[in-house]
Structure 1
Amino acid sequence: MTTTSDPGAVGENARIRMDKRRFLTKLTVASVGGMFIDGYILGIIGNAIGAVNDELGMSLFMEGLTGAAALIGIFFGGPLGGWLADKLGRKPLFTIDLGLFIVGSVLQFFVDSAWHLFFVRLLMGVAIGAEYSVGWPLLAEFAPARLRGRLMSLSEVFWYLGFMLASAVAYVLVAVADVDWRIVLGTSTVPAVVLFVIRFGLPESPRWLMNKGRTAEARRVAHAYLEEPEDALDPGGVGVRKGTFGMLFSRDYWRATTFTSVFWFCAVTPYFAIATFAASVLADYGLGDGLVGALGINGLALAGVVISLLLIDRIGRRKLTIPQQWVSAAVLVVIGLWPGAPSSVVLICFLVFAFANAMCTALTGVYPGEIFPTEIRGLGTGFATAISRIGAGIGTFLLPWSMHALGGGTTMLIAAAVCVAGALVSQVLAPETMGRTLSETSAPHRA
């Protein structure tokens, strides 16, 4: 004898599933949008810096410092935002950090000195640092295990889209339309305001609520928004735990802290150095004005993160993390040791580097959200962000000086050594988290 399901119940279940998918889509857009504006402000300064320098007459030191201002801000904003996100909640920080960014973005319209520009972009960097520390943890805590890798790596896709769009906007407005550079930099206000509106109405993370002992509220949010609510409610019973900075270096989590920080540092340091000043770097190697090559580098980087996004939940994290770093190191060694290489070979090597480097960079934001526990997920992500921005800042600040004082060959060999260091650390410490729940991936690891 067969039974027929209640059509009303079936329809209600379908509606609930559809509402959850819509929410996850909105949250994903709200999260990856933060990475888009990060890529945008970092891309726009590298392409507008010439116009800024023409008016403000900056020294080489000030040019590098201005280019690195947002990265310096991220260094401070990452840990601070992570600490606040773990203490006060993901939801309030998700709005506050973007409001702070908008303030800084608007102030760019009124810059009248090099130091004024530096401090404004420093403020924007602090906001972006907080964004890293709350956006990825929030998305990780709502995403189902089967989609978590793809959704979180989508942030890197949008980072590159923001970086590339900024390059195109700066070129058109500065080189073609001769628009004032203040307006060019201030264009970041537009996507930030749109993103600010999208974030209204988002709920608090149920995992954070559980960790704070707000069980009833956590259950309500989990069942209303999550595909796998019981996982987020930690039925295993970890209990309420207070996160501290010392936990990052405890016996349980030092491996997670070391790996995420070193891997991220080594992945972004050479990329920021090369990509931020791609046009001038390629011009130094005899590739015309470098514009086409610069667009190619960023275009292949975007292709690399897209491929990682498509594969991350199919072949796992380690296969997209380790080999690509060795490839990046190898092609930079070729450039460094072959000073008389044809320009076509140099260009191909740079393109291969951009592609391989981007594939592993897609994992830099995924890992912290997965392998730190709820009570220090924001702080752990923020700390890794800060360390990575030391590398990005060093690369951005020192590359113009290094190319001038040490030469292209030595500069590329130094970049290759950084890639090798990242590959070695990843080989030893990178975990495999594909398909596992956050309770499993963030469990203490003692060794």
Structure 2
Amino acid sequence: MTTVSNPDAVRGSEPAPVHKRRFLAKLTGVTAGGMFIDGYVLGIIGAAIGAAAVELRMPLLWQGLIGASALIGIFVGGPLGGWLTDKLGRKPLFTADLAIFLVGSVLQFFVDSAWQLFAVRLLMGIAVGAEYSVGWPLLSEFAPARLRGRLMSFSEVAWYAGFVVAFIVGYVMGTVFDLDWRLILGSSTVPAVILFLSRLGMPESPRWLMNQGRTEEARHIAEKYLEDPADALDITHESGRKGTFGMLFSRDYRRATAFTSLFWFCAVTPYFAIATFSASVLSRYGLGDGLGGAIGVNGVAVAGVVVSLLLIDRIGRRKLTVPGQWVCAAVLAIIGLWSGAPTFVVLVCFLVFAFVNASYTALTGVYPGEIFPTEVRGIGTGFATASSRIGAALGTFALPWSMENLGAGPSMLIASCVCVAGAAVSQVLAPETMGRSLSETSAPHQA
């Protein structure tokens, strides 16, 4: 794929016009808003499932299915949304997925059976899965190369914010005001309405238009919205090829597919296991009831994402991706092997894991948007998303069984091995994409 020979020659020294900066800020905000909703949906169910289970007389099987329904939906919605956005365009899916989520959110006010709640949460999960494979590609195709990593990783901050806000809202509505569990779940309607209205009128991606042969439209949008003249020039190098699912496994892109999927899987599997059950895990190591440690674990995770956001366009992707996974493998191995470790050492190890894991997890949404070409950027992101949800489900459901049947030490060693696998994959396959045009970062790499 042809690349810009000298981007600096067309990159202006003057700051971008105000309307372009405002547009980029708005696009970043409404993209991050989708991740906020994802965190909110996964967090709010914890505040409502207990009361819902009692009222609807749910057996444990249904409770587990409803708890996992959003994850199942994301697993389906990621690839489906990615395929549709590559075929139909970023703009229609960017609004349609929020409309579907909004419908599901409203329906939560009216459910009166376990299967209805499962179906509604599944629908919302599908919409959230589509959000991953639409929002990140769209943002990557508008963001200037010098800021692309920072703007895309901001979504990870929004995810944590959504999860924390859901916890606070659920506590206030359920514990302080003793409101019905349907109102607690339906509270996701408020951010969904705000985000849906904010997305109306967003433009189509100029790269997608150029890939479809709609040259004049692409150039008009690029001139109106792209900050950097080099990016406007770079869109002219779109190949015009039609993407297929099979391209992900071709000689040109199977390396990108393997890396994004395995890296994301290995990043989230131990995190979802430890963060979801952090209070109970820490209590096993003598840290009181574990609540304070659990708050600390999730708090430093937010700090880790923020640090990554500040450094990603300064030191590069690989320096944030590879070493951190080895560090996480080491601290989890210390916990697993040192059965008599002082509680202070155990707590420090968990905090280090949370901070460092979050710092490289911020890259999981950045890489797919950069290393897949326009024609399969959506489905590539969607496939990686589906892989990550397998990891999230395994981590969430396997840890309680492992802690009970294998013990805390072996469970932490298994988590350490997952980190080792992710580190090894990244050591070999992770590219450096900082400051490079999308034509360069998504160029075919035969392997």
Please classify the TM superposition score into its range, dividing by the shorter chain length.
over 0.9
C-alpha spacing 1:15/1:164, structure 2 compared with 1 (3 Å) = same
Name whichever of 275-284 and 412-421 sits farther off.
275-284
Question: What is the CA-CA distance between 1:66 and the residue it aligns to?
Answer: 2.5
Partner of 1:358: 358
Q: Number of aligned pairs? A: 435
Relative to 1, partners in 2 of residues 1:289 and 1:110: Cα closer, same or farther, differing over 3 Å? farther
Distance 1:61 1:330 in 2: 36
Gaps of 5+ in 2: 1-12
SS at match of 1:101: helix
| Residue type at the aligned position of 1:17 | P
Could you say what secondary structure the match of 1:213 adopts?
coil
- Which residue pairs with 1:272 in the alignment? 272
User: For the residues of structure 2 that align with 1:109 and 1:345, how far apart are their CA atoms?
Assistant: 46
8 Å contact kept, 2:210–2:235: no
Query: Who is 2:6 aligned against?
Result: none
Q: Distance in 1 between matches of 2:218 and 2:295?
A: 46
Q: Percent identity?
A: 75
C-alpha change, 1:184 and 1:286, in structure 2 (3 Å) is farther
Give the direction of change, closer, same or farther, for the CA distance of 1:427–1:106 in structure 2 (3 Å limit): same
Does residue 110 of structure 1 match 2:110? yes
Deviation at 1:178, TM superposition (A): 2.9
Deviation at 1:167, TM superposition (A): 1.9
Task: Measure the CA separation in 2 of the matches of 1:310 and 1:213.
Answer: 37
Q: 1:74 to 1:232 in 2, by over 3 A?
A: farther
Instruction: Give the Cα–Cα distance (whole angstroms) in 1 for the partners of residues 356 and 425 of structure 2.
Output: 17
Equivalents in 2 of 1:329, 1:176: separation in Å?
Answer: 40
Is 1:65 the counterpart of 2:71 in the alignment? no
Matches within 5 A, 1:52-201: 52-201=52-201
- The structural deviation recorded for 1:229 is 4.5
Secondary structure in 2 matching 1:287:
coil
Deviations along 1:95-122, one digit per CA (max 9) or x if unpaired, are: 0001111111122222333333222211
Q: Aligned-residue CA RMSD in angstroms?
A: 2.0
Tell me the amino acid that sits aligned with residue 294 of structure 2: A
Partner of 2:109: helix, strand, or coil? helix
User: 1:434 aligns to what?
Assistant: 434
Going from structure 1 to structure 2, the CA distance change for 1:172 and 1:286 (only over 3 Å counts) comes to: farther
Partner of 1:9: none
1:377-410 CA distance string (max 9 Å, x none): 0010001001111111121233333333333222
Partner of 1:110: helix, strand, or coil? coil
The 1:441–1:393 alpha-carbon spacing in structure 2 relative to 1, beyond 3 Å, is same
Residue 209 (structure 1) aligns with = 209
1:376 aligns with 2:367: no
Distance 1:338 1:58 in 2: 41
Query: Structure 1's 235 and 262: CA in aligned 2 closer, same or farther, altered over 3 A?
Result: closer
| Kept in 1: contact 2:48–2:184 (CA 8 A) | yes
Query: Does the C-alpha gap of structure 1 residues 62 and 330 become closer, same or farther in structure 2, counting only changes over 3 Å?
Result: farther
CA distance in 1, matches of 2:60, 2:235: 57
CA distance in 2, matches of 1:169, 1:273: 23
In terms of mean alpha carbon deviation, does 389-398 or 362-371 score higher? 389-398
Residues 67 and 396, structure 1, Cα contact 8 Å, conserved in 2 = no
Check conservation: 2:108, 2:182, Cα contact below 8 A: yes
Residue identity opposite 1:231 in structure 2: D
Q: TM-score, normalised by structure 1?
A: 0.92
State the shift of 1:230 in Å: 4.9
Shift, 1:176, TM fit: 3.7
- Alignment partner of 1:423: what SS? helix
Query: Could you tell me which residue of structure 2 aligns to residue 27 of structure 1?
Result: 27
* Contact 2:259 2:430 survives alignment (8 Å): yes
- Does the residue aligned with 1:109 lie in a helix, a strand or coil? coil
Matched, 1:246 2:246: yes
Distance 1:399 1:232, change over 3 A: farther
Distance in 2 (CA, whole Å) between partners of 1:121 and 1:99 is 14
Give 3-state SS (helix, strand or coil) of 1:387's partner: helix
User: Given the superposition, is the C-alpha separation of residues 307 and 28 from structure 1 closer, same or farther in structure 2, using an over 3 Å criterion?
Assistant: same
1:15 is displaced (CA, Å) by 10
- Equivalent residues of 1:207, 1:233 under 8 A apart: no
The DSSP-based 3-state class of the residue aligned with 2:328 is helix
Q: How does 1:299-310 map to 2 (within 5 A)?
A: 299-310=299-310
> Does structure 2 conserve the Cα–Cα contact (< 8 Å) formed by 1:207 and 1:232?
no
**Structure 1 stretch 157-166 or stretch 142-151: which is displaced more?**
157-166
Distance 1:435 1:126, change over 3 A: same
Higher mean Cα deviation, 264-273 or 212-221? 264-273
1:11-42 Cα deviation digits (max 9, x unpaired):
xx999710000000110111000001101111
Summarize the Cα distance change of 1:437–1:14 in structure 2 as closer, same or farther, 3 Å threshold: closer
Q: Residue 314 of structure 1 aligns with which residue?
A: 314
What's the CA shift string for 1:32-90, capped at 9, x where partnerless?
Answer: 00001101111222344444444445455444332221111111100100010000000
Q: From the superposition, tell whether residues 50 and 339 of structure 1 become closer, same or farther in structure 2 (CA, over 3 Å).
A: farther
Cα drift, residue 347 of structure 1: 2.4
AA aligned to 1:401 is W
Contact 1:108 1:117 in 2 (8 A): yes
SS in 1 for 2:434: coil
Maintained 8 Å contact 2:16/2:227: no
Q: Which stretch of the first structure deviates more once superposed, 258-267 or 234-243?
A: 234-243
Q: Call closer, same or farther: CA 1:275–1:65 in 2, change over 3 Å.
A: farther
Q: Give the structure-2-normalised TM-score.
A: 0.92
Which amino acid is 1:41 matched to? V
In the alignment, the residues of structure 2 paired with residue 246 and residue 232 of structure 1 have an alpha-carbon distance, to the nearest angstrom, of 29
Paired residue type of 2:386 = A
Counterpart position of 1:36: 36
Q: Name the residue aligned to 2:10.
A: none
TM-fit CA distance, 1:281: 3.1
- How far 1:314 moved relative to its partner? 0.3
Give the CA deviation at 1:165: 1.5
Mean Cα deviation higher: 100-109 or 192-201 = 100-109
Closer/same/farther in 2, CA of residues 357 and 14 from structure 1, 3 Å limit: closer
Indicate the larger mover: 192-201 or 399-408: 399-408
C-alpha deviation, 1:188, in angstroms = 1.3
User: Structure 2: how far apart are the matches of 1:325 and 1:346?
Assistant: 18
In 1, distance between residues paired with 2:171 and 2:404?
25
**1:278 Cα deviation after fit:** 2.7
Q: For the residues of structure 2 that align with 1:372 and 1:106, how far apart are their CA atoms?
A: 35
Partner of 1:413: 413
**SS of 2:363 mapped into structure 1:** coil
- Cα distance in 1 for residues equivalent to 2:400 and 2:58: 14
